[in-house]
Amino acid sequence: MIPSRPEFVYFDLGNVLLHFDHGLAFRSMARIAGAPPELIGRVVLDSDLQTRYETGLISGEEFVAEIAEQLGRPLDTLEMLRAAADMFIPNHLILPALEHLQSLGIPIGLLSNTCAAHWEWIVAQRYPQVVDRFHPVILSFEVQRMKPDAEIYRIAAEAAGRRPEEIYFTDDREENVAGARNAGWQAEPFTSADRLMDTIKTW
């Protein structure tokens, strides 16, 4: 079903505006830590460590300290956080869709599960897909909720100043799209910039 014209559009960040590669980050972290990348990946992902960091329940210093404890060796916090964040590649194909929404006068916001280290890195890169385009910016580590928790959609709708049915959302993860629909939003999975543009052109 083609969504009706929304009054507001929220975008996910990872694998929508920017591609990312956890393997790249784990290899960089492994070089600093002197440990296999596979071990770094298990420490970060096979527990609730990344989730707690992305939900703002622990700081970057605590994130690295837990990795250091698991590895049994001291680690430089700043170096490890930089390595953890150096994994993003801009999705240049999304730019026409963002510009077309601007031409339609439809405001856009950002709704992302992310951590402080990743967000600070992205802002520092001044990626044109991200910088100065989105208001509001709803980040899981700041609001201490993660998609698909119903509360983060409520927070985002309130920040946008729109009723749920007036909001359109696109995300690469099906569970986050389902969460948005359960919150009363229009939502579709992101599969490509071309498909998103086809949807926007119907508005």
Residue extents of the structural domains in the chain: 8-20+88-201, 22-85
Q: Would you tell me which CATH number, out of the four given (1.10.287, 1.10.3470, 3.40.50, 1.10.150), belongs to the domain 22-85?
A: 1.10.150
In degrees and rounded to multiples of 5, residue 37 shows phi and psi of: -55, -35
User: What's at 55, amino acid-wise?
Assistant: T
Q: What is the largest CA-CA distance in the chain?
A: 56
| Residues in contact with 47: Cβ distance below 8 Å, sequence separation at least 6, in sequence order | none
18-20 and 88-90 beta bridge pairing: antiparallel
Superfamily (CATH H level) for 8-20+88-201: HAD superfamily/HAD-like (3.40.50.1000)
Residues 114-149: tens digit of each pLDDT: 999 999 999 999 998 998 899 999 999 999 999 999
User: Quick one: average pLDDT of 20-26?
Assistant: 96
Is the pLDDT assigned to residue 13 strictly greater than 80? yes
Q: How confident is the model at residue 1 (pLDDT cuts 50, 70, 90)?
A: low
9, 87, 99, 154 from 48: Cα distances, Å: 30, 20, 37, 24
Give the model's pLDDT for residue 25.
97
167-171 and 186-189 beta bridge pairing: parallel
Q: Are 3 and 168 in contact (CB under 8 A)?
A: yes
7, 175, 176 from 186: Cα distances, Å: 11, 14, 12
Reading the block at residue 167, the tokens are: 């909001």
Give the model's pLDDT for residue 4.
81
Residues 176-202: tens digit of each pLDDT: 999 999 999 999 999 999 999 999 999
User: Quick one: average pLDDT of 4-16?
Assistant: 97
- pTM for the model: 0.94
Q: Are 180 and 187 in contact (CB under 8 A)?
A: yes
